[in-house]
Structure formats: structure tokens, C-alpha cells
Amino acid sequence: MPDSVVTQNIGAVQSGGAVVGAINQPQGPVYVGGQQFYGSVTINQGATTAEIVEALRKAGMLSRVMTRLPEEQFRQLLDIVARVTLADAGDGFFRIYRATLPPTAHLVNNPTPSRLLIDLCEQPPIKSWPPLIEFIERLVLVEDIEASVAEELQRWVDVSAGLVTPPTLASEIGRLRQELRAERMKSEGSDALSCLQVYLEADSHNRTQGRKQPLFRVELVLWSPQTDGPLVVQSEQVQQDTGRAKLLWTLDELPLLLDQAFTRREIVSLIPDMRRLIIEVVAPSDFLLFGFERWKRKNTSNTYGVDHPLVVRLRDRLVIDNPADQKRADDYWRAKWKAFCKSVSSQRCEELEWLAQDDLDVIDLQDKSDLACVGLSSPLLPENCEVFDVLRDAGIPIAIWLRGADLGPAPPAEASQLISALIKGMPLSDLRQAIQKVRRSKEVRKDEKHIGNALTLLWDDPDHQPPKYGDQGVFV
């Protein structure tokens, strides 16, 4: 038995920033997880649910906790959370706890999950749901949590939401989950993920010899957690015959520019995880039927579209001549993106709405406020490029289509069903990764004419625009 401890008068303590009165001292030392204490509870990582509850009871704290949550629900939650294993255990739980509470909240200086749960039970609600509920829903979204445990936590929330004080409506739980998914998506797009933008501007005055291929001015822009915003990382090739930097590029030459950028350690060091690097090609609509994802890495059989989620962006959105038309298109674009982040993103990929080209009416699309992500049900050919004007003016930020020229003279019937079968099972928020998964499959890599090799994904985030003619860019 450990030695006795010196008793002390606990007096008033703070929880959630408010003085809640005196804690009744137990009659003797309390032992939890091999550690003894007197009065306010200290809990070790290895303590069992029964030990934790009994220690709270002896310390006079259990009754306070139970004013917010029935004891049976509290015990169930302790049991489930005890089975959660995070890669960075203590820090991981505490980061979620910190994100749950407002900046002015009084925090416990203890990363033990059970201690955090106790404090969350005592924290006053500042939203339409208790902080404890938000903590659990944030925990569910942690990347390395086991799926079965995550499902059990959400079931606990569904059952317990009406039993906590104050009770939380099911509709509010749904709103919380939508907000957290949107927050996670924004975080992944701007923080957790890195992005290399390839901004293309056609040079109308120059073409290759024989005027067969258009030439482009190019800007490479890196966004990552380390860059604190867009960073132009243009990698210029010095031409041996003139000794001057190469300024104009054909589409077929651009893989070389990417290869050169990725040989520079100062660029690669700014990308925390190459597996989480998105490549965005910002191109005029006339060139959105080019298979950018087929660009080969280092002149090998490996392609950039297999190694990275590669999407296109519609440069035409940025250069509308009339200021009022530009503002109108921007307003629809941002409203549609907001709708995507708030609710549409949680739908499954197989729920994507497919439209025939004849159904693409600008005003109809504008008026459907929740229609932010569409599939084009028939393959696009070069003569169909007016479709991109419709997507621009209607503000549609996300679209998927097949390049008809890559499918041969007899494109498959029911293309939308075929694509839906390839991308099913993932939320629309992960559509970029779903398309990459298709491109990485052995079946697609072995068959050049496979439908998966003709897929293009438009992904246009209005909050993540290219610098274009910014002061640090090459177009000044």
C-alpha cells in the first residue's frame, strides 16, 4: 500500500472558467491506476472505468458530472474512449479538446482522455450542443481511428444526445456533423494537403514552327502548410543555344518543367507529404480536353496522374471581360462552393447528379443552389467546348466528364453508370482521391483505352485562387 499523503483543504476550484464551489474531501487517500491522491482527482492512463467512477465518487465530483450526463452513459463513454488508439495519444486527444473549446476557456493541464472527458462534462455549453458531444464528433474524424470504434462513438452520441443536459436535438447533431466535415475539408484543402498549381496562359502571338502547337507562358505555384500562402516556384530551363531561360512551353514539354521543379530540394522540402500533393492545372477552356493526367514523370511510364490527384481548373473564370458579369459569376461560384462544403460534400460519389449536355441551362443551374457538383453523361468532343461557358456562368465548381477523343470511334453507352461504378463508396469531398484511385488501378494502367483513362475532374476552389498577375508572379 502506498504511503499516506498530506491532506489539504481544496477549497474553491475552477472548471470551464467558473468557480463551482468546494470539493468534498474523501475520508482517506484514493488510489487510481497505482497513484494516490486526496481531494481533487488525478487519473493515470491505465485506470479502469470502475476506478475512475469510484474515485470521482469519493472526491465528491461524481454528482457534479452526473448533472450533465447519466452515470450509465458516462461509463459507456469511458469504456469506448479507452479503446481509442491514436498515433500521438496524449497530444492527439488534447488537440481535439483544445479545438472543441473557445479560446477563453479554462483548460485542464492533463492530456489523459478520461480527465478531459470529466472536464468537458463540466464545461458550459456555448453552442446548440454540449462541448462533450462536439469532442466525440471531432474524435470520430481523426484519420487513424478504427472504423468500428468511430461507429460506436457516433452511436453513443445518437443515443445520448437526448439524455445530456441540456438535451440536444437530432437535427443539431446533424448540423454539427456537417460543420465539422466542412471544417475538415477546408483544413485538408489549405493545410493538411499541399497543392502545386500549373497556371497556363496561351500566347496568342506565338506557336511552334509550322504553327502546329500552341505555346504557353507557365507559372508554377506551391501551396503547403510551410509556404503560408501561394509561393511561385517557377523552374526555368536555360536553352543551350541561346543561354537564355525558356519562357514559352508546349503542353507536351510541361512534364519536363514539373520534373525540374521536383529535383529542387528547396521546393520538395516545403511539401510535408508527397502522397498528399494535389496537382491543379489552370487552363483555358479550349484546352480542358487535353489529358493532363497522362503527363509522364521523368520520361518513364509513370504518370503524374497516377502519382498524384490531378485536376483541372477553369482559367476562364478569372478573365471575364465585363466587370458585372465577372462579379455575378464569382458570386454564384462562391455560393455553390459554400453549398458543397456545407452539405453536398458528404454525399457519396455514386449520388453524383449526371446531366446530358442538352440539360445544361445556365439559369436552371444558377437557380439550383445545392447543385455544386455535376457529371456530364456523354463524352465531350472539341466542338462541345461551350459546355465550359455554362459551367463558368452557372458557378459550378466541380464537374467530371469523359474526353470523347480518348475513347475511340465507339464510346461506351451508359458512361455515367460506368463511372459511378468506378468511384462508388467515397464521399464527394474525396472525389479527387477517388479519381486518382481509378487511375492507379492495374486494370486502367494496363488498358490505354479503358474509360478510366479518359476521365477529367474539374475542381475549382474559389478560396484557393492562383496568384495570376500577382506581384510575385511571372506575369508582371
Query: In this predicted structure, what is the pLDDT of residue 126?
Result: 84
Q: Which amino acid is at 415?
A: A
Query: In this predicted structure, what is the pLDDT of residue 185?
Result: 66
Task: List the pLDDT tens digit at each of the 476 positions of the chain.
Answer: 333 222 222 222 223 332 222 222 334 444 444 443 334 566 666 789 998 998 888 888 888 888 889 999 999 999 999 999 887 766 788 878 888 888 677 878 778 898 899 999 989 888 899 999 999 999 999 877 888 899 999 999 999 999 998 899 999 998 999 888 877 766 554 446 889 999 999 887 766 555 578 899 999 999 887 676 788 886 555 555 565 677 889 999 999 999 999 988 778 877 878 999 999 999 999 999 999 999 999 988 899 999 999 999 999 998 888 989 999 999 999 999 999 998 999 999 988 999 998 889 999 999 999 999 999 998 998 887 899 999 999 999 999 999 988 887 777 778 888 899 999 888 999 999 999 999 999 999 999 889 999 999 999 998 888 776 444 333 33
DSSP codes of every residue in 142-197? -TTS-HHHHHHHHHHHHHHTTTSSS---HHHHHHHHHHHHHHHHHHIIIIISEEEE
d(CA 80, CA 89): 15
Query: In this predicted structure, what is the pLDDT of residue 458?
Result: 98
Query: In this predicted structure, what is the pLDDT of residue 475?
Result: 39
The DSSP call for residue 213 is: S
Burial of 460 (0-12, 13-18, 19+ CB in 10 A): buried
| Domain ranges for the chain | 12-168, 192-459
What 3 state SS string does 354-403 have? EECHHHCCHHHHHHCCCCCEEEECCCECHHHCHHHHHHHHHCCCEEEEEE
User: If residue 237 lies in a helix (H) or strand (E), which one and from where to where?
Assistant: none
**φ, ψ at 203 (rounded to 5°):** -95, 105
Q: What pTM did the predictor assign? A: 0.60
d(CA 181, CA 174): 11
Query: In this predicted structure, what is the pLDDT of residue 197?
Result: 94
Say what the alpha-carbon torsion angle 193, 151, 51, 14 is, to the nearest 10 degrees.
Answer: 50
d(CA 211, CA 273): 40
d(CA 70, CA 67): 7
269: cell is 522540402
d(CA 463, CA 341): 12
d(CA 296, CA 276): 19
d(CA 44, CA 82): 12
Rounded percentage of the chain residues whose pLDDT exceeds 90: 46
The answer to whether 215 and 208 are in contact (CB under 8 A) is yes
Relative orientation angle of helices 113-122 and 71-81, to the nearest 10 degrees: 150
282: cell is 489552370
d(CA 380, CA 383): 8
Query: In this predicted structure, what is the pLDDT of residue 5?
Result: 26
